[in-house]
Structure 1
Amino acid sequence: MERSHVPVLPAEIVEFLKPDTTNAGPVVDCTLGEGGHSALLLEHAPDSRLIGVDADATMIERARHFLGPRASQVEFVCAWYDDFWLSYTGARPHRILFDLGISTFHLAGSGRGFTFREDEPLDMRLSDSVMSAAELLSGISQEDLADIIYVFGEERYSRRIAAAIVRVRSAGGLRTTGDLVETVTSAVPAAYRRGRINPATRTFQALRIAVNAELERLRTALPRALAALSPDHGRMAVITFHSLEDRLVKWAFRAASGDESAVGRSAVTAKHSTASKFAPKLIDTVAMPEGERITILTRRPVVPSYEEVAGNPASRSAKLRVVEKTRIEESW
């Protein structure tokens, strides 16, 4: 078995999340993947205990393999991270990590249609517990499809693309990712096809987010993870890869730190997209247990260095935000 994924911001994750050997709480890697970040953290704290969560059973087995002897320190949990935090009753973690990027294995080796560079089945699932992209596209209305592409892909030609997909679907010609790329490309202006990114990029992102309910899972999981975090200088880090995720994390962290202006904010920005039934729910008040408070350690997101991007181009859009939880000192 060959490792396919390079963890992003490795030095920064170690800097912020290096386990505290005096804290008995576990480290929780909410997006285990192939275990790259987990391996780094365990190397710096060989006696620590780690809980590795991933919705994909294949990734659990890949992580178990690549962690080698370190796997004995890991409790592997095959679950969506929002479901994990909904039912978690264990010791309060002193380090929590979310890496929201899609693994290189999923893009290049899974055959599940995450990339527009290969002609694969329209799947896009991170777990077989949800419907595939093909199933989603087979019955969705043109209006709802346009909303998904606009809200989750921030795609300005969403209505033209949705109309083209429905036409091709009706003719029975939408079976693979290659069919989808061809359909999207034919629906947008010629100048757009020659743009900086493949014209299908945003549509693929939107469908993947919709299939896996990524933003709603994140919106649900963040406050639960923050509440569970140890108040003895526990730290939580989130790596995002697109603006919808980053805005959601930014507002959730601000709300948890007591910034009332963050409550009611949305991950989406366009006025009519916030009214869409597909838009993530607005950020609620993120209440901390009594006597505990959240401090934001990264007022601006940390981004990869020029050297890292040169060596690992997949890291170019990564943004890291980190918070710390402490106890509120009693006043006398």
Structure 2
Amino acid sequence: MTEYSHISVLRDEAVAALEPVDGGVYLDGTFGGGGYSRVVLERAACCLYAIDRDPDAVARGRDLAGAYPGRFEIMQGRISELSVLLAARAVVALDGAVFDLGLSSYQIDDPARGFSFRQDGPLDMRMGGEGRDAATLVNLCAESELADIFFKYGEEKAARRVARAIVERRKTQKFTTTADLAGVIRSVVRPDKSGIDPATRSFQALRIAVNEELSDIEAALEQAAALLRPGGRLVVVSFHSLEDRIVKHFFAGCAGRLPAASRHDPAGLVPVAAPRFKLVTKSPILPSAAEIGSNPRARSAKLRTMERLAA
């Protein structure tokens, strides 16, 4: 597979923020369509490791490895396993790491993967093909658990109505397809002024729950930051508020930018450690109007960067 049709959001901005140099060792934590990896390898004579839990993405990565022998390796696994995956290859430090937290176009546009309701497909949503799929959650979770998923991971205000409608429908017929589920959601959630399909937030919530995405992000940020050499950069592109909130809070903590503890809080008596990082982007970098025009999926993206300070 040599055709890389996936459009990597903020690709040039992300690679520029990473600042790859000859002889450096880098990580692309979310290979996807390979857009970031290809540009990093073109930009510098460096060594790049990439991770993806999707077997199809790993297959694409092996094709790219053939174009850069000895400089690129793709590893199948979760980003929360990055330190173990790298250690198995004797990599104990990085000069930079980049994460594109969004789904790839390959995943969204393939009806068989079940990520989107734009085309009907099986209710799956598993990035790696293992574990519980979305149909299992929708058909077996208690109403209260479903409501929590829709509210917590989709920020869906009508979470209880959606959960109730799903539970009532599944009493007579189980859910198996994306179009079926989307139709039930639309029957109880009215369109709003944003123009977003009423099923969007609930589908996002199920995808996050199925893949345990937020806990993976938290673990990956911790591990990648710990591996950075002085001057090394951590670059993250997020696509919705839940992801960006995690990244923003983590970066602020590493840079010593979190609010100080109250003088009435005993934690305020503990000496504050010197910051380990500095923020390269005080405010997130957003896609240009031209990029959004050519790739509407870029509209919600935010890029944040921090750099490891000298020891």
* Fold shared, TM-score > 0.5 on shorter chain: yes
Kindly tell me the number of residue pairs found equivalent between the two proteins.
296
1:6: how far off?
Answer: 0.7
The 1:321–1:202 alpha-carbon spacing in structure 2 relative to 1, beyond 3 Å, is: same
Partner of 2:137: 136
Residue number in structure 2 paired with 1:210 = 209
Any gaps of 5 or more consecutive residues in structure 1?
A: 264-289
Letter of the aligned partner of 1:222 in structure 2? L
User: Measured at CA, do residues 292 and 186 of structure 1 come closer, stay the same or move farther in structure 2, by a change above 3 Å?
Assistant: closer
Partner of 1:236: 234
Distance 1:324 1:75, change over 3 A: same
Residue 83 (1) aligns with residue 81 (2):
yes
1:311 to 287, 294, 299: 294
Task: Describe the shift of the 1:72–1:61 C-alpha distance in structure 2 as closer, same or farther (beyond 3 A).
Answer: farther
Corresponding residue number in structure 2 for 1:252: 250
Contact 1:34–1:66 (CA under 8 A) maintained in structure 2: no
Letter in 2 for 1:80: R
Q: CA deviation at 1:15?
A: 1.5
Distance 1:309 1:67 in 2: 30
For residue 68 of structure 2, the aligned residue among 67, 70, 83 is 70
**Range 12-21 or range 192-201, more displaced:** 192-201
Structure 1 residues 213-238: Cα deviation after superposition (integer angstroms, max 9, x where no partner)? 0001111221121111111x101100
Contact residue 292 and residue 327 of structure 1 kept, 8 A: no
CA distance in 2, matches of 1:262, 1:241: 29
**1: CA distance between counterparts of 2:63 and 2:280?**
34
Q: Which amino acid aligns with 1:216?
A: S
Alignment check: 8 A CA contact 1:100 1:240 kept: yes
CA contact (8 A) 1:25 1:230 kept: no
Q: Which moved further from structure 2: 75-84 or 64-73?
A: 64-73
User: Shift of residue 307 of structure 1?
Assistant: 1.0
Aligned residue identity for 2:180: D
Query: Aligned-pair RMSD on alpha carbons?
Result: 2.0
Superposition pairs of residues 179-194 of structure 1, within 5 angstroms: 179-189=180-190, 192=191
Kept after mapping to 2: 8 A contact 1:82/1:218? yes
Normalising by structure 1, we get a TM-score of: 0.84
**1:138 shift after superposition:** 2.1
> Which residue of structure 1 lines up, in the alignment, with residue 149 of structure 2?
148
Which residue is 1:127 aligned to?
Answer: 128
Shift of 1:64: 2.5
Of 166-175 and 113-122, the range deviating more from structure 2: 166-175
For residues 197-226 of structure 1, the C-alpha deviation after alignment (integer angstroms, 9 at most, x for no partner) is: 100000000000000000011112211211
- Report the Cα offset of residue 72 of structure 1: 4.3
